[in-house]
């Protein structure tokens, strides 16, 4: 079955550590996205990539970094500069970056600070 | 910047009751509107979408939404809810400038059997 795989499902981080969240898709989609979900705030866009080797900042990119070296993969690194990283992180993809393409979501990674 | 408001954060209904979840957005230009649903333990999935044409949009599982441009609204409705509709519902908007979605804060619906 085609879909988006996020790993790990749960992740714990010590203060001052960088962590990387994995997102892989086998849908052959060009565009990929990372969102952060906090209770009562919906989803907020962190970074997005419309094509391999290109990505743009979303609304809350500070303290995060991404790469898009392969079409299938869009890992998100939560750096020590992110002051409040505890959240639920969702990865999504769409066939293209055009506005009329619905986004498909992964199951998410819940990140907690120890 | 555009924003999306969902005024009902938690809704509790009995089975067979009618449902209406509010969604208002702030952007004044042409918009595309979506409702996503997240069932317990499942990933977020598309419920319905509006791009153009008939402002009354039919989605999966008996849901519909009406786009009222003058009110900047895209409310979700279902005439008779079922226990299996228990989920969190998110309204989302993009402004035709790319596929960056702005999400509302979500509404948790609990349907009592």
In angstroms, the CA A41 to CA A61 distance is: 16
Q: What is the pLDDT of residues A35-87, one digit of tens each?
A: 999 877 789 999 999 999 999 999 899 999 999 999 999 999 999 888 889 99
B61 touches chain A (CB under 8 A): no
Question: B98 pLDDT exceeds 70?
Answer: no
Residue B110 banded pLDDT, cuts 50, 70, 90: very high
pLDDT at A87: 93
Contacts of B43 in chain A (CB under 8 A): 4, 105-108
Positive or negative, the CA dihedral A108, B92, A101, A64 is negative
Task: Among B6, B49, B100, select the one facing A45 at the smallest CB separation.
Answer: B100
How many CB atoms are closer than 10 A to CB B16? 10
Q: Which residues make beta-bridge pairs with A90?
A: A35
**Range of lowest pLDDT (A20-34, A100-114, B3-17, B66-80):** A100-114
């Amino acid at each position: 079955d085609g879909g988006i795989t996020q790993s790990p499902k749960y992740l714990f981080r010590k203060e001052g550590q960088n962590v990387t969240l994995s997102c892989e898709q086998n849908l052959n989609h060009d565009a990929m996205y990372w969102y952060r979900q906090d209770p009562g705030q919906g989803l907020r866009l962190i970074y997005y990539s419309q094509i391999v080797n290109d990505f743009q900042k979303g609304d809350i990119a500070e303290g995060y970094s991404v790469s898009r070296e392969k079409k299938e993969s869009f890992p998100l690194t939560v750096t020590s500069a992110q002051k409040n990283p505890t959240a639920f992180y969702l990865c999504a993809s769409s066939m293209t970056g055009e506005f009329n393409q619905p986004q498909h979501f992964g199951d998410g990674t819940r990140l907690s600070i120890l | 910047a555009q924003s999306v408001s969902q005024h009902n954060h938690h809704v509790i209904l009995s089975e067979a009751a009618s449902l209406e979840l509010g969604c208002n957005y702030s952007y004044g230009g042409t918009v595309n509107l979506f409702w996503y649903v997240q069932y317990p333990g499942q990933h977020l999935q598309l419920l319905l979408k509006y791009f153009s044409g008939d402002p009354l949009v039919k989605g999966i599982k008996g849901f519909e939404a009406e786009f009222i441009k003058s009110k900047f609204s895209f409310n979700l409705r279902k005439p008779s809810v079922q226990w299996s509709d228990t989920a969190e519902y998110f309204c989302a908007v993009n402004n035709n400038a790319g596929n960056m979605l702005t999400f509302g804060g979500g509404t948790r619906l609990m349907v009592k059997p």
